Structure 1
């Protein structure tokens, strides 16, 4: 569904250049529910904006649903944003019109395309569990309810890709869990590809793959050892997994053989302020050694 190759984004303002993405590579399969995590300034929101057609890359390759977003003209880009992608923002003021009811908000994107379907809007309300709130306006909905309405709005034109930018950032932990359950339900029932950008690492408990971005590149992936569905099935049978770590972290190696070493590992080696490191082979291991130091990090080859 998504293919990013050596993606670069540079912002220029008043003779100042800011590199937001520095050769990012990413592949997302159709029907996948995955998350992208990273600290503020890592480039995750920049990536999401480009996937949504809201910004264009400076260099590299970007394909979504077999469409080349770098070569897409303005008219094609408008059609892409209307038909291929749905967007859920963290700020509900960007998601909902306050003087419209929940049902009218969901119908609004349909109005803009000339295809209003009341039954479809009611169906989406039911899918996010808010049929009883169809006549409520923004001020009559809780933060979690507003976000679930926002998800329904993003689905109103049946997009193939749903993008969510910090969808749980403004709600408490319990409400965040409920919102993520809605994403899982939609992914399972509709088969829609969902990409969620967040800074919350706890999100990984409910998705099977989490990609970490650091300094504008994909640095590692957290792969679930057992699928979330398998864990739920075991819980329903009364089987409790005592293992605390549900995911395994794997470093990402780019096409040039480069890998980002976690900053905490570099701190352990005492490499702060240095840019050189010894690389050795020990059997089936790649070993990183600090120059003139005894500390070593072993990495599986």
Structure 2
């Protein structure tokens, strides 16, 4: 569904240049449920905006559903945003119109698709568990319910790719759990590819893969050991061990053989501020040592 190869994004303001992405590589399979994490300024939101057609790459390759976004003109971008991708923002003011009901908010994008708006809008609200709140204005809905309406709106154009920017950032942990469960259900029932940018550690327990971005590049990936369904079944049968980590973490190596070592690892060997590090091979393993 997504293929990023040596992706670069440079922002220019007057004489200042900021490199947000520095040759990022990433592949996301169709039907995958994955998260992107990283500190502020790491480039994760820049990547999400480019996947959503809201920003253009400066260099590299960006393919989504077989479409090369670097070759798009403005008309192509509008068509792409209307037919391929759905977007859920953290800030509900960007998702919703406050003086409309939940149903009316969802009807607007459905109307743009030329479909029978009321039936389709009700169907979408039912899909996110809010059919019983369709006639409520936004000020009568909780933050979590408003975010569910926003997800229904993002599904209105029947997208192949759903992007979510900090979707649990403004709700409590219980509601965050429910929203993440909803993403998993939509991923499973509709075959949606879902990419979520988040700071929420709960998410690592829910998604299949977590990609960490640091300094504009993918630095590590966490892959689920067992499927989420298998873990739930083991938990129900009392077989799940809390001591076992749900994911395995891998460092990501680029085509030149470079990788980013987690800072905690470097600190543990006293090399956190070192510009050089010794690399040796011992018993079939690559070993990193602090400078002498």
Q: Which residue of 1 aligns with 2:201?
A: 201
1:85-126 deviation per Cα after TM superposition (whole angstroms, max 9, x unaligned): 000000000011011111111111122233343222111111
**Where does structure 2 lack aligned partners over 5 or more consecutive residues?**
none
Q: Which residue of 2 aligns with 1:231?
A: 231
CA distance in 2, matches of 1:25, 1:174: 34
CA distance in 1, matches of 2:277, 2:224: 31
Q: Which residue of 2 aligns with 1:280?
A: 280
Alpha-carbon offset, residue 235 of structure 1: 2.4
Matched, 1:78 2:81: no
Matched, 1:127 2:140: no
Q: Which residue of 2 aligns with 1:68?
A: 68
> In 2, are the aligned partners of 1:88 and 1:154 still within 8 Å (CA)?
yes
Q: Which residue of 2 aligns with 1:52?
A: 52
> In 2, are the aligned partners of 1:107 and 1:116 still within 8 Å (CA)?
no
Q: Which residue of 2 aligns with 1:98?
A: 98
> In 2, are the aligned partners of 1:34 and 1:208 still within 8 Å (CA)?
yes
1:37-67 deviation per Cα after TM superposition (whole angstroms, max 9, x unaligned): 1111111000000000000011110000000
Q: Which residue of 2 aligns with 1:149?
A: 149
Q: Size of the alignment, in residue pairs?
A: 292
CA distance in 1, matches of 2:273, 2:181: 43
CA distance in 2, matches of 1:242, 1:182: 24
CA distance in 2, matches of 1:148, 1:36: 21
CA distance in 2, matches of 1:149, 1:2: 26
**Where does structure 1 lack aligned partners over 5 or more consecutive residues?**
293-301
Indicate the larger mover: 168-177 or 271-280. Answer: 271-280
CA distance in 2, matches of 1:73, 1:157: 21
The 1:119/1:236 distance shift into structure 2, 3 A limit, reads farther
> In 1, are the aligned partners of 2:274 and 2:291 still within 8 Å (CA)?
no
CA distance in 2, matches of 1:118, 1:237: 43
> In 1, are the aligned partners of 2:110 and 2:120 still within 8 Å (CA)?
no
1:110-121 matches, cutoff 5 A: 110-121=110-121
1:232-251 matches, cutoff 5 A: 232-251=232-251
Q: Which residue of 1 aligns with 2:19?
A: 19
Q: Report SS of the residue matched to 1:120.
A: helix
Alpha-carbon offset, residue 244 of structure 1: 4.1
Indicate the larger mover: 36-45 or 234-243. Answer: 234-243
Indicate the larger mover: 81-90 or 109-118. Answer: 109-118
Matched, 1:5 2:17: no
Alpha-carbon offset, residue 127 of structure 1: 1.1
CA distance in 1, matches of 2:127, 2:243: 33
CA distance in 1, matches of 2:222, 2:29: 16
Kindly report the root-mean-square deviation, in angstroms, between the aligned alpha carbons of the 2 structures: 1.1
CA distance in 2, matches of 1:159, 1:216: 27
CA distance in 2, matches of 1:68, 1:258: 27
Q: Which residue of 2 aligns with 1:266?
A: 266
CA distance in 1, matches of 2:51, 2:27: 12
> In 2, are the aligned partners of 1:221 and 1:249 still within 8 Å (CA)?
yes
1:151-208 deviation per Cα after TM superposition (whole angstroms, max 9, x unaligned): 0000011000000000000111111000001001100100000000001222100111
What is the TM-score with the length of structure 2 in the denominator? 0.97
Q: Which residue of 2 aligns with 1:138?
A: 138
